[in-house]
């Protein structure tokens, strides 16, 4: 089926957040991601294949340097209520880099963390770079934007632990960890904010084993991988 100029204009507009917000739509590119979308509970509103519309038309709607074989427009899910979920959950306090958020969602999917809470200033879930970096995890991991300090208070009021990663924390490899509770990861530049840190009752450190190491800290996605792996190892 050919693609109209109006449809091209709409797809291109979805590269901008205000148009994604206004329409509640987002773009998915690539065979793997589109297959994931089709197999999920998300509504696929429109789908175009390069072989059907031609290379030139696909190049006009694709955000990739090499136009993908298939592109879909998908409807966003309604915002989630910040209810406390069972099991191990993840909270992101000011994650700004789209690649980091996408990778963290992929890690949550890998380690069986079904709910990720994010502060309102965390990068938008449907940012094209986030969607691409999730490699399909966006269709399986639930994401709820909410007040993280308040969320931590509610977890603690329910008798559940709240952990966070800090440069002055206790060695994660020597801590008693559990498969239930909330793990907080802070922003790339500033870490966990003071108002959130005040609600953390388990301060964790990923120790450096290299003598004379000059790195100040780990990338937040790398730190998330190590942290979730250690929680699941116990």
- Give the burial string for 88-112 (b: 16+ CB within 10 Å, else e): bbbbbbbbebbebbbbbbbbbbebe
CATH number of residue 59's parent domain = 3.30.1330.30
pLDDT along the chain (234 residues), means of 10: 90 97 97 96 96 94 91 96 96 97 98 97 97 97 98 97 94 93 93 96 91 74 97 89
Select from 50, 75, 100 the last residue of a domain.
75
The SS3 assignment for 203 reads strand
User: Are residues 184 and 198 in contact, defined by beta-carbon separation less than 8 angstroms?
Assistant: no
Per DSSP, 117 falls in state: E
Token code pair at residue 160: 């559940």
CATH number of residue 195's parent domain = 3.40.1280.10
* Domain extent for 57: 5-75
Please tell me whether residues 43 and 153 are part of one structural domain: no
Q: How far apart are CA 108 and CA 137, in angstroms?
A: 8
User: Rounded to 5 degrees, what angle do the CA atoms 182, 188, 193 make?
Assistant: 55
Q: How far apart are CA 206 and CA 132, in angstroms?
A: 28
Please tell me whether residues 18 and 103 are part of one structural domain: no
Please tell me whether residues 16 and 92 are part of one structural domain: no
Please tell me whether residues 19 and 43 are part of one structural domain: yes
What pLDDT is attached to residue 145? 98
Token code pair at residue 195: 């108002």
Please tell me whether residues 31 and 96 are part of one structural domain: no
What pLDDT is attached to residue 214? 56
The SS3 assignment for 218 reads coil
Q: Pick the closest to residue 142 from 186, 164, 109 (CA basis).
A: 109
Query: Quick check: is 82 in a domain?
Result: no
Please tell me whether residues 193 and 98 are part of one structural domain: yes
Please tell me whether residues 161 and 55 are part of one structural domain: no
Select from 19, 42, 75 the last residue of a domain.
75
Query: Quick check: is 83 in a domain?
Result: no
What pLDDT is attached to residue 164? 97
As for how many domains the chain has, the answer is 2
What pLDDT is attached to residue 209? 85
Q: Pick the closest to residue 89 from 78, 76, 80, 98 (CA basis).
A: 80
- Sorted by sequence, the CB contacts under 8 Å of residue 31 that are 6+ apart come out as 68, 69, 70
What pLDDT is attached to residue 218? 86
Please tell me whether residues 108 and 144 are part of one structural domain: yes
Please tell me whether residues 111 and 162 are part of one structural domain: yes
Instruction: Using alpha carbons, list the distances in angstroms from residue 11 to 3, 40, 46, 134.
Output: 10, 21, 10, 20
What pTM was computed for the model? 0.94
Q: 136 — phi, psi (to 5°)?
A: 100, -15
């Amino acid at each position: 089926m050919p693609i109209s100029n109006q449809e091209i204009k709409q797809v291109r507009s979805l590269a901008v957040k205000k148009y994604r917000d206004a329409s509640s739509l987002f773009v998915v590119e690539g065979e793997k991601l589109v297959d994931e979308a089709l197999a999920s509970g998300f509504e696929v509103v429109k789908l175009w294949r390069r072989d059907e519309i031609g290379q030139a038309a696909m190049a006009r709607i694709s955000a990739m340097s090499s136009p993908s074989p298939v592109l879909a427009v998908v409807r966003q899910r309604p915002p989630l209520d910040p209810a406390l979920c069972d099991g191990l959950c993840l909270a992101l306090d000011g994650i700004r880099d789209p690649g980091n958020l996408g990778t963290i969602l992929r890690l949550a999917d890998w380690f069986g963390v079904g709910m990720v809470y994010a502060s309102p200033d965390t990068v938008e879930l449907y940012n094209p770079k986030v969607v691409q970096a999730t490699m399909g995890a966006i269709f399986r991991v639930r994401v709820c934007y909410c007040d993280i300090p308040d969320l931590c208070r509610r977890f603690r009021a329910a008798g559940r632990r709240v952990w966070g990663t800090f440069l002055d924390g206790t060695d994660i490899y020597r801590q008693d960890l559990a498969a239930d509770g909330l793990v907080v990861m802070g922003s790339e530049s500033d870490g966990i904010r003071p108002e959130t840190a005040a609600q953390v009752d388990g301060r964790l450190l990923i120790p450096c084993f290299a003598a004379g190491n000059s790195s100040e800290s780990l990338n937040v996605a790398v730190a998330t991988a190590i942290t979730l792996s250690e929680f699941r190892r116990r």
